């Protein structure tokens, strides 16, 4: 680990003041950042500890949604009675991630900013455009079982590893961000960037900007499912995951909000897939058509080719479960 | 000076006295708690990295990222970094861990990088973080030395076919073509890691007399001492290794590893203690892995399922310069009877990190593939796979006609089937929602070995002290040796102190190959028997007429406290076991049967093990609890082998890609159901005077096959390339339509 400066901020204003330089990182739970710093995959010159900031708590919003403080732990969020009742897909996604110990420490804001689990990103002996811009991508022709099939570029095929963010994407969450220029809200769909030729830039956050909360819109109702497919029963990242919020009225699909993990560099959502479903009668053929749309641009890299049929089958199973009568 | 006498046993003949059955204390065989358990769970057991000698410096290994000749480094710049004391680039550094029982140095650095990931230097600094940071900044220049091969199946791989490891008896091909049913299938198992919980760690300290004390985490101390002395070029009596507690080994700590050598060299160069702990990623790369295997299995049988031919030809990989090669067919030689037999063994010399012994070397992968093949042939023949196995139980060694020391194959199969409630059904019969449910079974077999071992027992009027350099790698050595001494000398276990893990004590067997408990227990037994003889002589009775219990000597209706007999004296005795003809005149082995029930998702191909039950026979069970724990662990290994574990090597340079515990998937709690473990208690007189055999590895050998066979029974998909990851099963489901 490279030596670094450490500042414990007392409030948001102080944190923002301290977070000037490009070499600075905020630290909350540190469950991902510290591992990366030990390996020197990340080597910030300065850490601003935000754990003393008043960014905890989960509050109802005026519009009937929830405002989740950036420092709310994954465990607390998953256990919140309101979340369990009205946004159950979020609770299920959280509990499908990491381990009990990690969820006790990991925070809402930090979870959104997790780095990829690409093997080559973690390995300083290998080229990686995300870690070291311009060095190349070892994953494309190497081991890529866990990597992306959607939204990739020739420069990077990494996936975003979060489960929480997938559920939030399905729910249409917004991220509240504060910087020297003031506070603003960013829709989660606008929060992440595709890799293109700058895979090291993963979000639209500017240096020194701090996530202060995540806003959930009012309860979406419907049937909510989070299904995560992985290489062991627990404590593994998603090969494919599906967050679904689906309502059926009078035999037709009235609502379909679907987000996917394990497929792309960001929690993936495709409006065309949802448009194709809404207003239709559930059927195997319809679900297959939805998968066709979702996977039209999908590209495997050898070791992850299986994700294409796996996604198709998992999506069909989730939609079948979500639209079955009398559950 | 107290008199110390020695009792030797060259084990040439069966021991039919079964003296332990005549002892009175009643502690051996019980599930006694580990005496050191409270120390471990309260953090007071000091593991290798946990000592803090004064002025200790911290070392961190530097990793090579290409293969070739070392031509230079930026060591001078590294020396100038904050906190850095020295950069060790000693040519005596070792490229990978020694093989088990090598007793000599593995290949040393000598200016050469053999594989990507090889440690090439050690940076020593005042603090751990300084050392790690500087090590990560260090660059070694390496001149490529040609093109290399990284896959054993690459046609360009250099392949050896050692004469003594091939067998051709009868006419396999004739039998195949004449058979009613036959199978010719190829199986693959992946490169695997021991992945012990405690990473390798060593603290080295030299005293003014030039004696090195190394606190390490090792399994075979007498060999490790010889290895370290050989590496350093010093006499063995200048090396002392302390390894009182070891946080798991599974083969990875059989041989001296690079961190111990680096710590010793650095401590010598600096004249102060040095600690080197391997990072988890370094453990994966520099400690020997289990070789990947390709296994072609040919089987032939008649209409009744009687085997007429067995072929098992395998290909494994290894770095140049290593003697060991995964003995895949070790169990195949004798597990099943059949007159026509071919066994082939090929070793591809490739540039992946060195291979070595990992938990049940040979049978773990060999029996697993073979038991899948047996299942496949039984299916072709339309015979219940349990019944198929029962029809092929050998009554003697099928290749050389030697008798078995004991044969419990049939008994474990029958008992295991009864306990599990085995019924044979065709595939794709049971469904719960999207999940196919099926059952599978497999036999388990593992060779039994004894290793030379010495141990001391020191008797006083108040109790016994047992001393040797045996290790307890989590297996329960402290408990078992305590129980043997307590039983033999008639003391409650809390009157027995067992001191282990110090090469200044008599050299025991060490832990490995499932030989530790039986070999070292025999040495303790012999030492205790020697003391019993002396007690009997002092009391004027014959030893067999002497009963020892609760600190009393009971003979001819009289009770004499040992405190009275010994007074203030301390009686010392050495036990010394030397393996003899008993290991060659018969085939000694342990047997078992494993049954599993799985659910397979028809959507994703995910497999969940729902039930697993093993029945094992391994001679006398010395401690019911630790033996059962070993079997739980072994069956969990089987689940990992079947479903989750695979070390992936980059096709371009052979380096280990998934070298952390997030991406090397050991089974987690949710992957492992309640495991049933049952023992068939037996007495194997050929094994040793305890009639005990190794139990540690047996349950690994076959458990994976039971799971793979259950997958086929559940959903009809036969997996021949392990592990059965969901994509393979899903592809099979898609192919079935």
Backbone φ and ψ for B471, nearest 5 degrees, come out as -110, 155
pLDDT at A34 over 50: yes
Contact at 8 Å (CB) between B474 and B247? yes
pLDDT reported for residue B556: 86
| Domain boundaries, given as residue ranges, for chain B | 4-30+450-583, 48-146+194-286, 362-448+588-736
- What value of ipTM does the predicted structure carry? 0.97
Q: Is B697 a catalytic residue?
A: yes
Contact at 8 Å (CB) between B695 and B633? no
Contacts of B525 (CB under 8 A, 6+ apart): B20, B484, B488, B575, B689, B690
pLDDT reported for residue B200: 98
Residues of chain B with pLDDT under 70: 1-2
Q: Which two tokens stand for residue B72?
A: 């230079």
Evaluate the omega torsion of the peptide bond into residue B424 and state whether it is cis, within 30 degrees of 0.
no
B48-146+194-286 carries CATH number 3.40.50.300: no
Helical H runs in B287-435? 332-335, 363-381, 385-390, 409-420
How many residue contacts between A and B have a Cβ separation below 8 Å? Answer: 82
Q: Which of B136, B726, B727 sits opposite A124 (nearest CB)?
A: B136
CATH class of the domain comprising B4-30+450-583: alpha beta
Among B120, B280, B662, B671, most A C-beta atoms within 10 A, so best to mutate, is B662
pLDDT reported for residue A325: 85
pLDDT at A327 over 80: no
CB within 8 Å: B663 and A146: yes
Interchain contact B731–A (C-beta under 8 A):
yes
Cα separation values, A235 from B108, B248, B281, Å: 38, 21, 18
Write b or e for each residue in B374-397: b if 16 or more Cβ atoms lie within 10 A of its Cβ, otherwise e. Answer: bbbbbbebebbbbbbbbbbbbeeb
Residue in chain B lying closest to A229 (CA)? B604
* Chain A residues in contact with B671 (beta carbon < 8 A): 232-234
Tell me the pLDDT band of A161, cut-offs 50, 70 and 90: very high
Q: Which two tokens stand for residue B413?
A: 């199969």
Q: How many residues are present in chain A?
A: 327
pLDDT reported for residue A148: 98
- What digits encode the pLDDT tens for the residues A212-227? 999 999 999 999 999 9
Fold of B362-448+588-736: Aldehyde Oxidoreductase; domain 4 (3.30.365)
Residue B521 CA to residue B479 CA, distance in Å, equals: 11
Residue A74 CA to residue B33 CA, distance in Å, equals: 38
Residue A111: closest CA among A211, A247, A226, A221: A211
DSSP secondary-structure letter at B93?
-
Q: Which of A146, A231, A239 sits opposite B644 (nearest CB)?
A: A231
- What digits encode the pLDDT tens for the residues B61-80? 999 999 999 999 999 999 99
DSSP helix/strand/coil, B289: strand
Among B82, B137, B641, B650, most A C-beta atoms within 10 A, so best to mutate, is B650
Contact at 8 Å (CB) between B508 and B469? yes
Contact at 8 Å (CB) between B123 and B94? no
- What digits encode the pLDDT tens for the residues A246-267? 999 999 999 999 999 999 999 9
pLDDT reported for residue B1: 47
Q: How many residues are present in chain B?
A: 737
Residue B737 CA to residue B726 CA, distance in Å, equals: 16
A99, A102, A108, A111: CA torsion to nearest 10: -80
Mean pLDDT in residue range A70-94? 98
A21 vs B2, which has greater pLDDT?
A: A21
- What digits encode the pLDDT tens for the residues B102-138? 999 999 999 999 999 999 999 999 999 999 999 999 9
């Amino acid at each position: 680990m490279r030596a670094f400066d450490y500042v414990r901020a007392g409030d948001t204003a102080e944190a923002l003041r301290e977070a000037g330089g490009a070499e600075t990182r905020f630290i909350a739970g540190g469950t991902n950042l510290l591992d990366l710093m030990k390996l020197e995959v990340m080597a910030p010159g300065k850490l601003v500890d935000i754990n003393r900031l008043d960014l905890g708590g989960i509050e109802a919003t005026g519009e009937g949604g929830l405002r989740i403080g950036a420092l709310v732990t994954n465990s607390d969020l998953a256990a919140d009675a309101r979340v369990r009742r009205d946004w159950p897909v979020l609770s299920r996604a959280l509990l499908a991630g990491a381990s009990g110990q990690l969820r006790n420490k990991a925070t809402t804001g930090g979870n959104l900013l997790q780095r990829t689990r690409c093997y080559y990103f973690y390995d300083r002996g290998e080229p990686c455009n995300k870690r070291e811009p311009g060095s190349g991508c070892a994953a494309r022709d190497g081991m890529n079982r866990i990597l992306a099939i959607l939204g990739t570029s020739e420069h990077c095929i990494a996936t975003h590893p979060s489960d929480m963010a997938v559920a939030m994407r399905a729910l249409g969450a917004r991220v509240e961000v504060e910087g020297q220029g003031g506070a603003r809200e960013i829709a989660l769909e606008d929060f992440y960037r595709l890799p293109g030729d700058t895979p090291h830039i993963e979000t639209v956050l500017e240096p020194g900007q701090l996530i202060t909360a995540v806003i959930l819109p009012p309860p979406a109702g419907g049937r909510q499912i989070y299904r995560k497919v992985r290489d062991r029963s627990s404590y593994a990242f998603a090969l494919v995951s599906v967050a679904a919020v689906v309502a059926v009225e009078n035999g037709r699909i009235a609502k379909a909000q679907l987000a996917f993990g394990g497929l792309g560099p960001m929690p993936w959502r495709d409006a065309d897939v949802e448009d194709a479903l809404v207003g239709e009668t559930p059927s195997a053929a319809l679900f297959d058509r939805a998968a066709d749309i979702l996977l039209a641009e999908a590209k495997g890299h050898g070791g992850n080719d299986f994700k294409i049929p796996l996604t198709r089958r998992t999506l069909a199973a989730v939609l079948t479960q979500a639209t079955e009568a009398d559950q | 000076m107290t008199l110390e006498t020695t009792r030797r046993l060259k084990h040439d003949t069966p021991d039919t006295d079964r003296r332990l059955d005549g002892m009175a204390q009643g502690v051996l065989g019980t599930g006694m708690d580990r005496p050191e358990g409270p120390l471990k769970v309260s953090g007071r057991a000091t593991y290798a990295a946990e000592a803090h000698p004064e002025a200790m410096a911290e070392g961190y290994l530097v990793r090579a990222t290409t293969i070739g000749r070392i031509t230079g480094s930026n060591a001078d710049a590294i020396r100038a970094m904050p906190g850095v004391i020295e950069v060790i680039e000693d040519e005596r550094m070792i490229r990978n861990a020694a093989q088990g029982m090598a007793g000599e140095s593995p290949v040393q650095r000598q200016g050469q990088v053999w594989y990507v990931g090889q440690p090439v230097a050690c940076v020593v600094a005042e603090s751990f973080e300084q050392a790690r940071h500087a090590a990560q900044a260090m660059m070694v220049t390496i001149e490529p030395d040609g093109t290399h091969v990284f896959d054993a199946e690459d046609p360009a791989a250099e392949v050896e076919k050692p004469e003594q490891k091939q067998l051709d008896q009868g006419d396999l091909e004739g039998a195949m073509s004449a058979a009613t049913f036959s199978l010719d299938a190829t199986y693959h198992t992946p490169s695997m890691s021991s992945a012990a919980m405690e990473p390798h760690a060593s603290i080295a300290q030299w005293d003014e007399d030039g004696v090195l004390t190394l606190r390490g985490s090792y399994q075979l101390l007498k060999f490790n001492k010889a290895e370290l002395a050989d590496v350093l070029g010093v006499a063995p009596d200048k090396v002392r290794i302390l390894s009182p507690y070891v946080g798991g080994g599974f083969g990875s700590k059989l041989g001296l590893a690079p961190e111990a050598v680096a710590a010793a060299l650095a401590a010598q160069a600096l004249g102060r203690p040095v600690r080197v702990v391997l990072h988890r990623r370094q453990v994966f790369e520099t400690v020997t892995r289990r070789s990947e295997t390709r296994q072609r299995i040919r089987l032939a049988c008649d209409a009744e399922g009687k085997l007429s031919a067995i072929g098992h030809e395998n290909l494994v990989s290894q770095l140049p310069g290593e003697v060991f090669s995964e003995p895949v067919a070790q169990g195949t030689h004798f597990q099943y009877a059949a007159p026509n037999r071919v066994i082939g063994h090929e070793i591809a010399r490739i540039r992946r990190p060195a291979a070595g012994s990992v938990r049940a070397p040979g049978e773990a992968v060999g029996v697993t593939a073979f038991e899948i093949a047996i299942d496949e042939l039984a299916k072709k023949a339309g015979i219940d796979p349990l019944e198929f196995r029962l029809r092929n139980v050998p009554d003697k060694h099928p290749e050389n006609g030697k008798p078995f020391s004991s044969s419990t194959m049939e008994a474990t199969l029958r008992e295991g089937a009864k306990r599990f409630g085995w019924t044979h059904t065709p595939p794709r019969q049971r469904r719960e929602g999207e999940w196919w449910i099926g059952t599978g079974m497999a036999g388990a077999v593992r060779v039994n070995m004894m290793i030379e071992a010495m141990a001391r027992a020191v008797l006083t009027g108040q109790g016994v002290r047992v001393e040797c350099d045996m290790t307890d790698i989590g297996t329960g050595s402290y408990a078992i040796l305590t129980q043997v001494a307590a039983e033999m000398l008639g003391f409650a276990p809390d009157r027995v102190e067992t001191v282990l893990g110090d090469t200044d004590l008599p050299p025991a067997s060490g832990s490995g190959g499932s030989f530790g408990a039986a070999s070292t227990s025999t040495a303790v037994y012999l030492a205790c028997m020697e003391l019993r003889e002396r007690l009997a002589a002092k009391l004027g009775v014959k030893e067999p007429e002497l009963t020892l219990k609760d600190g009393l000597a009971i003979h001819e209706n009289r009770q004499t406290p040992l405190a009275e007999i010994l007074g203030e004296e301390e009686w010392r005795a050495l036990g010394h076991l030397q393996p003899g003809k008993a290991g060659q005149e018969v085939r000694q082995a342990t047997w078992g049967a494993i049954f599993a029930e799985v659910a397979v998702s028809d959507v994703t191909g995910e497999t969940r093990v729902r039930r697993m039950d093993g029945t094992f026979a391994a001679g006398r069970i010395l401690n019911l609890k630790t033996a059962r724990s070993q079997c739980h662990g072994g069956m969990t290994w089987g689940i990992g082998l079947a479903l989750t574990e695979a070390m992936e090597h980059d096709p371009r340079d052979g380096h280990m890609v998934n070298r952390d515990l997030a991406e090397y998937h050991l089974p987690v709690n949710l992957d492992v159901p309640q495991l049933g473990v049952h023992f068939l208690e037996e007495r194997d007189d050929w094994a040793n005077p305890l009639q005990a055999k190794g139990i540690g590895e047996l349950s690994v050998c076959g458990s994976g096959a039971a799971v793979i066979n259950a997958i086929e029974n559940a959903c009809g998909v036969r997996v021949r390339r392990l592990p059965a990851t969901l994509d393979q099963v899903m592809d099979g489901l898609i192919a079935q339509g």
